[in-house]
Each structure stands twice: as C-alpha cells, then as structure tokens.
Amino acid sequence: MFHRCIPAAARASVLRARNPRPRAGRRSFTVDIHCHVATPAADELARASFDPTSDALFRFSSEATRAVNRKQGETIAALITETAPRLAIMDATGIDVQAVSPAPHQYYYALEPGLGRETSRLVNDRIAELVALHPDRFVGLGTVPMQAPELAIAELERAVKTLGLRGVELGTNVMGEELASPRFRPFWAKAEEFGIVVFLHPSGFSDGRRLAEHYFINVIGNPLDTTVAVSHLIFGGVLDAYPKLKIVCAHGGGFLAAYSGRMDHAHEARPDCRAVIKRPPTRYLKKLYFDTIVFTHHQLEYLAELYGSDHLMLGTDYPYDMGEADPVGFIGSSKLGAAEKARMMGLNAARLLKIKVPKAAKPRAKKRRK
C-alpha cells in the first residue's frame, strides 16, 4: 500500500486546513528524528567562498531539477527558518518534539577549515537558540567541520557540553572521502565517549554522472550514498572499533535492507571482504537505527521485521518535498502492533536523545493475573 506524499508547495495549505491533533490525553508520544533548520547567517558568511558545485546534489542535477529546487527554496523559506510556522505544522501533524538538524547544504565541508568552523558555530548557535526558545518542543542536532577532524572534535565538544545539543548530523561523505577513513577515527571515538546521536544524512551521490535527469541524484543518489557510507563503516571496522555508537540513518537506511544478505555471503566467500571484520556484516547493520521515511507500508513493516521496531524512528524530512507529510498517519495505519508503533513514533528517539516522556504518553503496564 502506497502512502501519499504531499509536495512541499502544497504542504502548508493542506496542513492549515487540518484540525490540530490534540496533544492532551493518553496517546503515542511523537518525536521527529529527521527535520531541518536553515541558518541564513551561515549562508551569508560562506557566500563569498562556497562553490555550490561542490555539493553533489547541485553538481549532478539537470536544469529542470535546478529550477524546481529554486522554486522549492522560495516556498519553504519561512518553514525552514522561522519558528511559528514550524510549530503550527508540528501541531497539525501531531509531532510533540522535533530533533532539529541542519539543512544538508550547510555542512560546508568544501570550505577551508577555519571558515568551516565558523559556519558550524553559527549553525549550532542558531539550533541551540531554537531549543532554548521552546525546550519542550525541540532538541538539537548540530554540525561539525569534518574537513578538519581536530576542529570537528572541538566543535562537537562545544555543541554538546556548552550548547546542550544531543548530537550531530553528518554528511555521508566528506568531499568524496569515506567516513571510515582513518583520519576520522578520533571523531568517532569522541562521539562514542559522549554517547551522542550521529544522524547520517546524504546530499546526493558523490559520483552522480548518470543521475542528473529526473532528480535521480536525490531519488536514487541519496539512499545510494547512505548505502555506500554505512557499508564502509561496517567493512572498514568503525562499528567494530566503536560498538556503542548511536548512528541513525536517514531515509530508512537507503538500499541496505533490500540486499543485506549479499554482504554476509561476500564476507564468508571472499578473504578481501573479511580483511578487517571477523563477524558477519549484518551483525553490525542491526546495531544501527533508521528513520521511517520509506513511503510504503510493506517497506516499513519489512524494516521492523529485519531490524526490530526498537531501531526505527519517525521522520518527516521537514520541510522538503521528498518528505513524509503525515508521519503519524503513515505509521499508525500500518499492520504493526500498538507497542511497535509507539516505539517508532517517539519512544525510541526519546531514549536515544534523552527526552523525558510525559506520563500520559507512556504505555500502561499490563496487570499481572493473580
């Protein structure tokens, strides 16, 4: 069963027409793990130095796609920068808390390290400000200048310990370099030490020459880049070296779930596939977390069967047109059980992000029969 996805251009008017979902009473507590905020001040600071063609999502796009994206940018400008429309849409769609993270174009990995540090600080300060204004509705996931791992670690520490952010969003590659690269190991060690959430979010595919038409650079490229990045983290030994990492993968983890058995077969059949890790790759894959932006119930239910409903989290991709406009309805109308739905809607994310769940939203404990 396909679930309807509402384009961003129509989203605001559709949501305004709905009655806000009541936030009182006993119901599922909801946390959106995948939603974005843009920081205009960071764009302004980077403008003179940032080459948009360094972003694969822009570089491997047709003119038709670029025109649609420009129009979308105008449509969502207020939604992605201002607080009032964000809260209104959260209320209309039944979202209690957003884990706000940067707009992907604001990773700025192409900038020289010092400027990358400054843009990261502006983005993180803005996210922390948003959280401070509405601490009951938002928690923050920041960004770090991964092009310079030592600066990334310093900004991670500031974001977590000074600003109170609950984690960071990372791109799925750093200017084509894999996150499993040895120079990023100190960052992964610190992320594990802090116990924070790392949200992996792609921005196109690093070599998307065949993906320019039909918005394939996002439709195929985004989930493909996540698939490649996580595969490197597994086979490269990052998840083996840092087993307590809390990594959440966007867009249902890309194509990983569809053919994960091939990983295990290769690991058993070929010595070059087990040069670093000794255990089957899917053992590591099942330690990860995934959002629910998959659009079909059979895919959602398959992910729950494969990874467990305790590893799935509601996501919207707010406010972009490739997002899920009715995430609560999408999960709620699946064939999953009530307890599984409650975990996916918010309890899993609350656990990872250390969000206090209201008593009214906690599942009732079953009474034992005497």
pLDDT beyond 60 at 19:
no
Average pLDDT, rounded, for the chain? 90
pLDDT the model gives residue 306: 94
pLDDT beyond 90 at 17:
no
Residue 367 makes CB contacts below 8 A (sequence gap 6+) with none
Q: What is the mean pLDDT of residues 193-217?
A: 93
Lowest mean pLDDT among 16-20, 94-98, 156-160, 258-262: 16-20
Q: Using one digit for the tens of pLDDT, what is the confidence trace for 103-152?
A: 999 999 999 999 999 999 999 999 999 999 999 999 999 999 999 999 99
Q: How far apart are alpha carbons 76 and 321 in whole angstroms?
A: 9
pLDDT the model gives residue 59: 83
pLDDT beyond 50 at 46:
yes
Single-letter code of the amino acid located at 269: A
CA distance readout (Å), 195 to 239, 244, 245, 273, 278: 14, 8, 7, 29, 25
Count CB atoms within 10 A of the CB of residue 345: 28
Lowest mean pLDDT among 8-12, 44-48, 76-80: 8-12
Burial 248-281 (b: 16+ CB within 10 A, else e): bbbbbbbbbbeebeebbeebeeeeebbeebeebb
Most confident listed range (17-26, 49-58, 150-159): 150-159
59 CB burial (10 A radius; 0-12, 13-18, 19+): middle
Of the options 3.20.20.140, 1.10.10.10, 3.30.413.10, 3.30.70.100, the CATH number for the domain spanning 27-355: 3.20.20.140
Q: What is the mean pLDDT of residues 297-308?
A: 96
pLDDT the model gives residue 51: 83
DSSP of 54-123? GSHHHHT--HHHHHHHHHHHHHTHHHHH-HHHHHHHHHHHT-SEEEEEE-GGG--TTS-HHHHHHHHHHH
Q: What is the mean pLDDT of residues 10-18?
A: 39
Percentage, residues of the chain above pLDDT 70? 90
Q: What is the mean pLDDT of residues 335-354?
A: 97
pLDDT the model gives residue 334: 97
Percentage, residues of the chain above pLDDT 90? 82
Closest among 94, 103, 82 to 31, alpha carbons compared: 94
**3-class DSSP state of 278:** coil
Q: What is the DSSP letter of 181?
A: S
Q: Residue 42: phi, psi to the nearest 5?
A: -70, -40
**Residues constituting the chain:** 370
Contact 31, 97 (CB under 8 A): yes
Is 13 or 172 the better-scoring residue by pLDDT?
A: 172
Q: What is the mean pLDDT of residues 363-367?
A: 54
